């Protein structure tokens, strides 16, 4: 089949990401003797500068990795928690029934820095100064402005000028929206990272000591002090339409640290897929595989009407369970992934498309769903809460010129000559999330919008817990050996696009690049994870490269098919170990994803 670029094959190192500058940075680390973990960290910090509308220092990062030394897959949770003051009662007192999608109230502890540092310390070899040098370079000297960066800033420029002047000072240089193709610098962020390096090097002469000192400066020192003061002493208009201060304080920052966890896994056709725990949406990938185990996708044929219908209906069931059962709490994953439960659930997949949200009862437990906004509420547009009109710029995270929001974030995959592999999905702290902290050059994230302000739910807002994030890196073993690190931006679509890619490789027998380039589809059926949490039951998005006869048959089966542009859906990248070679591929959509290696 036609591919937009070759599947890269070599034996030294491969990096694939959502931006060419990050991929090139990661490869330069490998060329200079760094390992996959060093390369991923350096690339991750460059992504904060190169794609500031998609991630930032105030955001978070979940990571899946394979260590050749450990001979195992590990999960690094760089996902911060809700502040101690963030209670349902506090939001109710403010007259809110949903967490705003922008502003200071939705901030959780910024986990990205801690996550990257933990991986670097435990598995990397480079120093703090070495991994931060590329990001400092680009922050000081400027990055080429993507059209999407320019469009995002243009859409929220009125909000910046009228309500968020600190953001205007950072993102409207000279008072103007930076044009696509121009150069945009963030010298304040560069100074923040330079100060981190200086404090770390003055505190210790060892790599490990410097990394510990950097974490202390971030979570207890000058970074934490600036965050806490900004949160306590300023107030800004957010997507509720009202002006609010923040809840995060110094104790919240000092009391948090990134963690290493075991992955959840599921075996499927000789492959073991590894995901984060249900504090993220990752296990919904595994639930889809558990359901698909009972269908013959090979017989259906890749991208046939039967194939797309079955994959879509299975996704609806798995994501319904996400809504009822997932959160940073005790989740009955053994039952949710067990064959008795899935054999019963498969019977719900019928010839006609379902228009219901149907969570199951694992182990006989009865599901409880949140009180969602009315179906049909656009999940990707400025919305209302409590009757108040929201300003433009809500949701995750790219804002179009008309004010609509398209799910997107960042991703990076690395494999080195030793066989180490990394899949990381940094996000949050978008330039449009909340006002820029002027002393630091970045803003806080808004991941708390994924909590529910309703008691008794797995994803209810509770101090000290992680929001049920959409960020979902993926890793797979084949016949018990490390094989594939992959992932995509896309909010709720991440564990649809990634599943489609994986199935295209396993059942469609496509190579990595062919599977990324293949026509993509996803369901809009279930509630969005982002403010204002709307849903569009029965809606199926498909690229117009899907066979017209297939689309007609899907409509006949009751799907409300909305045809998208030929290269509109999916932002995947991947690296692999395969047959003595290492391989990589990246997404052509949007003309910025890139894979590099030799």
Q: How far is CA 391 from the centre of its chain?
A: 23
Contact 467, 479 (CB under 8 A): no
Within-domain flag for 518: yes
In a domain, 548, yes or no: yes
**Is residue 251 situated within a structural domain?**
no
Count of the separate structural domains present in the chain: 1
Rg (CA), the chain: 22
Q: Do residues 110 and 57 touch, judged by C-beta distance below 8 A?
A: yes
- 269/276 Cα distance (integer angstroms): 21
What would the two tokens of residue 386 be? 């409590």
In a domain, 170, yes or no: no
Instruction: Report pLDDT digits (tens) over 279-331.
Output: 999 999 999 999 999 999 999 999 999 999 999 999 999 999 999 999 999 99
Phi and psi of 142, rounded to 5°?
Answer: 100, 150
Cα-based torsion angle of the residue sequence 542, 20, 137, 109 in order, rounded to the nearest 10 degrees: 30
pLDDT in tens, the chain (598 residues): 789 999 999 999 999 999 999 999 999 999 999 999 999 999 999 999 999 999 999 999 999 999 999 999 999 999 999 999 999 999 999 999 999 999 999 999 999 999 999 999 999 999 999 999 999 999 999 999 999 999 999 999 999 999 999 999 999 999 999 999 999 999 999 999 999 999 999 999 999 999 999 999 999 999 999 999 999 999 999 999 999 999 999 999 999 999 999 999 999 999 999 999 999 999 999 999 999 999 999 999 999 999 999 999 999 999 999 999 999 999 999 999 999 999 999 999 999 999 999 999 999 999 999 988 766 544 433 222 222 233 333 333 444 433 333 446 899 999 999 999 999 999 999 999 999 999 999 999 999 999 999 999 999 999 999 999 999 999 999 999 999 999 999 989 999 999 999 999 999 999 999 999 999 999 999 888 888 788 898 999 999 999 999 999 999 999 999 999 999 999 999 999 998 999 999 999 988 999 999 9
C-alpha–C-alpha distance, residues 37 and 123, integer Å? 6
**Residue-wise pLDDT tens digits, 255-285:** 999 999 999 999 999 999 999 999 999 999 9
Question: What pTM did the predictor assign?
Answer: 0.94
Whether 563 maps to a domain, the answer reads: no
193 belongs to a structural domain = no
Give domain status of residue 89, yes or no: no
Bridge partners (DSSP) of residue 547 are none
Within a 10 A sphere around the Cβ of 169, how many other Cβ atoms?
15
Q: Is 557 within 8 Å of 352 (Cβ atoms)?
A: yes
Closest CA to 408 of 51, 4, 40, 13: 51
Which helix (H) or strand (E) element contains residue 298? Answer: helix 297-300
Parent domain of 545: 261-354+472-557
Q: Within a domain: residue 126?
A: no
- The enclosing domain of 341 has a CATH number of 1.10.246.130
The neighbour count for residue 367, using CB atoms within 10 Å, is: 15
């Amino acid at each position: 089949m036609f591919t937009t670029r070759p599947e890269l094959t070599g034996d030294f190192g491969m990096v694939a990401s959502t931006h060419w500058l990050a991929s090139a940075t990661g490869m330069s680390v490998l060329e200079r003797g760094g390992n996959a973990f060093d390369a991923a960290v350096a690339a991750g910090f460059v992504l904060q500068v190169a794609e500031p509308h998609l991630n930032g220092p105030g955001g978070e990062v979940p990571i899946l990795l394979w260590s050749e030394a450990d001979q195992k897959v590990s999960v690094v949770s760089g996902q911060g928690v809700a502040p101690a003051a963030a209670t349902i009662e506090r939001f109710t007192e403010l007259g809110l029934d949903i967490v705003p999608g922008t502003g200071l109230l939705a901030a959780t502890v910024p986990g990205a820095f801690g996550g990257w540092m933990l991986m670097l310390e435990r598995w990397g070899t480079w120093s703090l100064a070495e991994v931060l040098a590329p990001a400092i370079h680009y922050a000081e000297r400027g990055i080429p402005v993507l059209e999407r960066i320019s469009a995002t800033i243009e859409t929220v420029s009125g909000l910046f000028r009228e309500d968020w002047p600190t953001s205007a000072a950072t993102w409207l240089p000279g008072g103007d929206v930076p044009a696509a193709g121009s150069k945009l610098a963030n010298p304040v962020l560069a100074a923040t990272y330079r100060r981190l390096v200086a404090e770390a090097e003055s505190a210790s002469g060892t790599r490990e000591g410097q990394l510990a000192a950097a974490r202390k400066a971030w979570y207890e020192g000058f970074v934490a002090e600036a965050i806490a003061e900004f949160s306590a002493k300023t107030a800004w208009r957010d997507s509720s339409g009202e002006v609010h201060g923040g809840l995060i304080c110094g104790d919240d920052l000092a009391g948090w640290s990134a963690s290493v966890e075991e992955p959840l896994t599921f075996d499927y056709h000789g492959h073991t897929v590894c995901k984060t725990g249900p504090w993220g949406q990752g296990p919904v990938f595994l639930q889809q595989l558990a359901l698909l185990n009972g269908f013959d996708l090979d017989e259906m044929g890749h991208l046939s009407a039967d194939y797309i219908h079955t994959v879509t209906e299975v996704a609806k069931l798995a994501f319904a369970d996400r809504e009822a059962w997932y959160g940073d709490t005790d989740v009955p994953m053994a039952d949710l992934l067990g064959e008795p439960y899935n054999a019963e659930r498969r019977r719900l997949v019928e010839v006609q498309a379902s228009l219901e949200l149907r969570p199951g009862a694992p182990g006989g437990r009865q599901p409880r769903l949140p009180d969602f906004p009315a179906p049909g509420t656009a999940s990707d547009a400025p919305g209302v809460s409590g009757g108040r009109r929201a300003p433009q710029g809500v949701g995750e995270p790219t804002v179009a010129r008309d004010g609509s929001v398209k799910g997107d974030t960042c991703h990076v995959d690395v494999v080195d000559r030793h066989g180490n592999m990394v899949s990381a999905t940094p996000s949050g702290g978008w330039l449009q999330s909340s006002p820029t902290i002027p002393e630091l050059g970045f803003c806080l994230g808004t991941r708390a919008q994924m909590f529910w302000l309703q008691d008794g739910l797995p994803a209810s807002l509770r101090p000290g817990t992680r929001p049920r994030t959409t960020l979902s890196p993926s890793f797979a073993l084949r016949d018990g050996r490390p094989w594939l690190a992959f992932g995509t931006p896309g909010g709720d679509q991440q564990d649809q696009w990634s599943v489609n890619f994986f199935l295209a490789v396993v059942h469609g027998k496509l190579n990595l690049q062919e599977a990324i380039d293949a026509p993509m589809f996803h369901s809009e059926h279930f509630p969005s994870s982002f403010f204002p949490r709307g849903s569009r039951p029965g809606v199926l998005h498909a690229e117009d490269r899907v066979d017209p006869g297939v689309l007609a048959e899907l409509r006949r089966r009751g799907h409300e098919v909305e045809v998208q542009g030929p290269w509109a859906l999916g932002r995947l990248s991947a690296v692999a170990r395969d047959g003595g070679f290492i391989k990589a591929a990246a997404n052509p959509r949007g003309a910025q994803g890139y894979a590099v290696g030799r």
